[in-house]
């Protein structure tokens, strides 16, 4: 596509239209992507009406091209999914996700090809097996966008949502690699065993090299972030371009002809690494800004893909009415093969008990809710327009025929399957029942309402509201507070006191994570110490979420799920050990950080518990958890004091540097206060830092 003034206008009109569709989807409670495709389908005939064509005819100038989809849109979608994926949660279901994304996809592609190869001749369409296999690879990858949006609205178990999202993330690369291998065979010809073995080798090497390239480039970007993490603009820019840099570099390697790399897998691995390893060291403000920016970019790209897909379907020139029978047959075959592909993986996996079983209701939903979307559109458009094979006799080219089948399957999943997902979930009794989450929400909700009640009294005392309005608003808040307290009482009756011990312990972990991140940003702990403590907190959080908070090992800080940390440590291990002085400082950092974290956690819940006339937390839970953390604080303080007494001379320079950094943090807080109250602009801030901050403001 050559960008012209009309195509540029069409681009921004479509983005504006997608925002209108988004609001409409929320109002009418319809899946957003479904509504986008529907609007796209209607847009072409509407704008081509005689009295509208001269005004809105430019919409046709913006078209989906393979280059636009492949090099611009696809990396954004892959990166957003991988960057926000929790690797530890995904590894809890590693077997089912990996088997669904590889074995299930291959089974689906082959079974679709086999059935279509035998059925299509019965309705007068000779479909060579290689074309059927090509279609199997195109239509087998799943798209979770519409499904996950429905899951968020009605609530599902977190593991089920993770299986859907993890499968979709990983099967994109598998599907693309399989498609490219099959397309290569279709273009060069089939030579028996040699072709089969060569295809398997190429498929395997594309995946392996994709993983290697992804890790290598992610390591380069991660190293760059070590130098730029204090500058949010440079950091965000590096991470935003990383997806396209990895993807396009992989494609350049492919174009060299030396080796073939899966650019999708390379980008996926890089996104997982950057999101689960490098992201942890970013300052909270940068992380929050980056997360929103990536989410917004993915929203715009997804909106354009699905909206323009509707435009593409409506203006493709393929006679869908003439092809209605093969399309209907294909839709049924694809649905049946998905069912087979799911059960062929989950049944043996449940029998072997390698991880938590997949319930029968989940298996049914995995089979039904496997919608197709963006990747299938991208893949089918990669087929050359002049592509043909021996034995093809249809009046349509193989590309147009496969496009028609792909469009039919996508529309069927969006307009038939998607609207029925929620009713099927209700029938299967799939819902989120998380007592810990409910208990946590109850505690925090009560604190929120107590704060509201206190502020109301403050407003009344200051004369902001009159007595009549105060009484009405107070009655409403008290009613909500009574309901929240009653809900908490019911949770205690159903699940026992321990669920609120877990909830409060979880709150402490969240406070500790926030504190250790601040200590890293303020240079009060090294990255190595930070990663040890952060990993330890992640392990403890998982124990709490699994109702095993009494089994927490306070010394444990790593396990098999710390994939990227272990990989980095393995790579760096040959380059030498820390000096005795560095080890001593690290131990000091560790004890001091543990003491500060425990102290801040105790202060936080103590403030929440004692600020109001009614306690926020259940007294028994508060006493148990606060007492435990006070012991943590005392032990860490004692260890730190003993370490300083034994190594006063060696630690003296370090302690002096620590004092200077703490002073710099106090200065930064003073500048933040001036900013919040409008007393300072950026230029004056730099001037004050240069004049008064330690080391001229270079903290």
- Banded pLDDT at 2 (limits 50, 70, 90): low
Q: Using CB atoms within 10 A of its CB, is residue 587 exposed (0-12), middle (13-18) or buried (19+)?
A: middle
Out of 27-41, 249-263, 552-566, give the one with best mean pLDDT.
249-263
Least confident of 21-35, 198-212, 282-296, 330-344: 21-35
SS3 letters across 432-500: CCCHHHHHHHHHHHHHHHHHHHHHHHHHHHCCCCCHHHHHHHHHHHHHHHHHHHHHHHHHHHHHCCHHH
* Whole-number pLDDT of residue 434: 79
Q: Is residue 698 predicted with pLDDT exceeding 60?
A: no
Q: Which long-range contacts (C-beta less than 8 Å, at least 24 apart) are formed by 647-653?
A: 647/584, 650/581, 650/584, 651/584, 651/585, 651/588
Q: Up-side HSE of residue 220: CA atoms within 13 Å toward CB?
A: 11
Structure tokens at 491: 């949770």
Contact between 601 and 629 under an 8 Å Cβ cutoff? The reply is: yes
- Banded pLDDT at 194 (limits 50, 70, 90): confident
Tens of pLDDT, residue by residue over 359-368, are 999 999 999 9
Tell me what the mean pLDDT of segment 568-585 comes to. Answer: 78
Tens of pLDDT, residue by residue over 245-272, are 999 999 999 888 788 899 999 999 999 9
* Whole-number pLDDT of residue 146: 65
Q: Which has the closest alpha carbon to 508: 588, 589, 624? A: 624
Q: Is residue 684 predicted with pLDDT exceeding 50?
A: yes
Q: Which has the closest alpha carbon to 338: 111, 113, 34? A: 111
Q: Using CB atoms within 10 A of its CB, is residue 463 exposed (0-12), middle (13-18) or buried (19+)?
A: exposed
Q: CA 329 to CA 327: how far, in whole Å?
A: 5
pTM of the model: 0.87
Mean pLDDT (the chain, rounded): 86
Structure tokens at 516: 């250790």
Q: Which residue has the higher pLDDT, 58 or 682?
A: 682
Tens of pLDDT, residue by residue over 610-654, are 999 889 999 999 999 999 999 999 999 999 999 999 898 888 888
Q: Is residue 576 predicted with pLDDT exceeding 70?
A: no
């Amino acid at each position: 596509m050559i960008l012209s003034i009309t195509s540029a206008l069409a681009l921004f009109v479509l983005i504006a239209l997608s925002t209108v569709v988004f609001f409409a989807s929320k109002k009418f409670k319809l899946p957003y992507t479904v509504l986008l495709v529907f609007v796209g389908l209607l847009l072409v005939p509407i704008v081509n009406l005689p009295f509208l064509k001269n005004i809105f005819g430019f919409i046709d100038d913006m078209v989906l091209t393979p280059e636009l989809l492949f090099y611009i849109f696809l990396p954004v979608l892959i990166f957003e999914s991988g960057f926000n994926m929790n690797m530890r949660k995904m590894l809890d279901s590693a077997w089912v996700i990996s088997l669904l994304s590889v074995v299930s996809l291959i089974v689906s592609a082959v079974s679709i090809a086999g059935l279509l190869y035998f059925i299509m001749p019965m309705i007068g369409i000779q479909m060579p097996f290689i074309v059927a296999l090509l279609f199997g690879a195109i239509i087998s990858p799943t798209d979770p966008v519409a499904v996950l949006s429905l899951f968020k609205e009605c609530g599902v178990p977190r593991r089920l949502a993770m299986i859907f999202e993890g499968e979709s993330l990983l099967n994109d690369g598998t599907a693309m690699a399989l498609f490219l291998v099959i397309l290569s065979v279709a273009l060069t010809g089939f030579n028996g065993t040699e072709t089969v073995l060569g295809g398997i080798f190429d498929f395997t090497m594309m995946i392996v090299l994709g993983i290697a390239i992804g890790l290598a480039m992610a390591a380069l970007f991660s190293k760059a972030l070590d130098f730029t993490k204090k500058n949010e603009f440079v950091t965000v820019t590096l991470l935003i371009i990383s997806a396209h840099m990895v993807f396009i570099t992989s494609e350049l390697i492919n174009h060299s002809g030396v080796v073939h790399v899966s650019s999708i897998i390379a980008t996926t691995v890089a996104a997982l690494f950057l999101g689960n390893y490098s992201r942890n060291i970013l300052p909270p403000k940068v992380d929050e800004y980056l997360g929103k920016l990536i989410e917004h970019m993915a929203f715009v790209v997804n909106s354009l893909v699905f909206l323009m897909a509707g435009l593409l379907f409506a203006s493709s020139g393929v006679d869908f009415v003439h092809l209605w029978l093969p399309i209907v047959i294909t839709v049924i075959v694809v649905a049946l093969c998905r069912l087979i592909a799911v059960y062929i993986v989950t049944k043996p996996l449940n029998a072997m008990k390698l991880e938590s079983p997949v319930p029968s209701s989940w298996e049914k939903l995995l089979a039904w809710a496997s919608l197709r979307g963006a990747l299938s559109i991208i893949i089918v458009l990669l087929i050359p327009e002049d592509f043909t094979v021996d034995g093809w006799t249809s009046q349509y080219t193989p590309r147009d025929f496969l496009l028609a089948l792909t469009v039919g399957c996508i529309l069927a999943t969006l307009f038939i399957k998607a609207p029925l997902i929620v009713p099927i979930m209700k029938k299967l009794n799939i819902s989120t029942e998380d007592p810990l989450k409910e208990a946590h929400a109850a505690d925090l909700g009560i604190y929120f309402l107590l704060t509201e009640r206190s502020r109301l009294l403050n407003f009344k005392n200051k004369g902001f509201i009159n007595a009549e309005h105060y009484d009405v608003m107070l009655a409403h808040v008290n009613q909500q507070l009574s309901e929240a307290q009653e809900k908490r009482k019911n949770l205690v009756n159903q699940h026992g006191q321990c669920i609120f011990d877990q909830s409060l312990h979880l709150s402490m972990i969240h406070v500790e994570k926030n504190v250790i991140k601040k200590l890293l940003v303020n240079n009060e702990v090294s990255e190595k110490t930070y990663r040890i403590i952060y990993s330890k907190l992640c392990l403890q959080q998982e124990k709490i979420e699994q109702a095993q908070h009494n089994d927490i090992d306070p010394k444990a800080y790593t396990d098999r799920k710390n994939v990227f940390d272990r990989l980095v440590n393995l790579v760096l291990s040959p380059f030498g050990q820390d000096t005795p002085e560095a080890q001593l400082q690290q131990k000091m950092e560790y004890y001091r950080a543990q003491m500060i974290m425990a102290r801040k956690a105790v202060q936080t819940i103590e403030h929440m518990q004692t600020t109001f006339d009614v306690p926020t937390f259940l007294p028994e839970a508060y006493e148990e958890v606060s007492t435990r953390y006070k012991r943590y604080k005392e032990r860490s303080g004692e260890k730190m004091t003993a370490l300083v007494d034994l190594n006063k001379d060696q630690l003296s320079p370090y302690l002096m540097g620590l004092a200077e950094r703490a002073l710099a943090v106090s200065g930064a807080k003073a500048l933040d206060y001036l900013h919040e109250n409008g007393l300072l602009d950026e230029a004056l801030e730099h001037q004050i830092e240069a004049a008064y901050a330690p080391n001229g403001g270079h903290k």
